[in-house]
Amino acid sequence: MKHLLRRGLYTLLVVVLAAAAASAGVLAWRALYPPPVRGGAGSRPPAAPALQVGERRPDFTLPDTAGVPRAVSEFDGKLLIVNFWATWCPPCLEEIPAFVRLQQDYAAHGVQFLGVALDRAEAARAFIAEHAVNYPSVYGEHEAIALSKAYGNRIGGLPFTVVVGRDGRVLRMHQGVFEEADLRAVLDAQL
Rounded to 5 degrees, φ, ψ at 115 are -85, 140
Helices (H), 107-178: 121-130, 142-150
Say whether both 162 and 85 belong to one domain. yes
Residue 41 lies in a domain: no
pLDDT at residue 138 in the model: 97
Say whether both 18 and 83 belong to one domain. no
Q: Identify whether the C-beta of residue 161 lies closer than 8 Å to the C-beta of residue 84.
A: yes
Residue 42 lies in a domain: no
Q: Identify whether the C-beta of residue 88 lies closer than 8 Å to the C-beta of residue 79.
A: no
Say whether both 180 and 113 belong to one domain. yes
Rounded to 5 degrees, φ, ψ at 49 are -60, 135
163 burial (CB, 10 Å; 0-12 / 13-18 / 19+) is buried
Say whether both 65 and 151 belong to one domain. yes
pLDDT tens over the chain, length 191 residues:
666 666 765 665 555 455 444 444 444 334 433 443 333 444 344 445 678 999 999 999 999 999 999 999 999 999 999 999 999 999 999 999 999 999 999 999 999 999 999 999 999 999 999 999 999 999 998 999 999 999 999 999 999 999 999 999 999 999 999 999 999 999 999 99
Say whether both 18 and 100 belong to one domain. no
Say whether both 95 and 183 belong to one domain. yes
- Reported residue count of the chain is 191
- Determine the residue type at 183: L
Say whether both 10 and 92 belong to one domain. no
pLDDT at residue 44 in the model: 41
Say whether both 71 and 161 belong to one domain. yes
CB atoms within 10 A of CB 34: 8
Say whether both 24 and 117 belong to one domain. no
Residue 49 lies in a domain: no
Say whether both 169 and 97 belong to one domain. yes
| pTM for this entry | 0.74
Partners of 169 in beta bridges: 56
Say whether both 110 and 25 belong to one domain. no
Q: Considering its fold, how many domains does the chain have in total?
A: 2
Residue 56 lies in a domain: no
Residue 84 lies in a domain: yes
CATH of the domain at 81: 3.40.30.10
SS3 category, 111: strand
Structural domain span for residue 99:
61-190
Distance of CA 95 to the CA centre of its chain: 21
Alpha carbon separation from 33 to 20, 25, 28, 36, 161 (Å, rounded): 20, 12, 8, 9, 37
Say whether both 99 and 27 belong to one domain. no
CA distance 148 to 58: 10
| Helix 90-106, helix 180-190: angle, nearest 10 | 40
Q: Identify whether the C-beta of residue 73 lies closer than 8 Å to the C-beta of residue 112.
A: no
Residue 86 lies in a domain: yes
Give the DSSP H or E segment for 174: strand 170-175
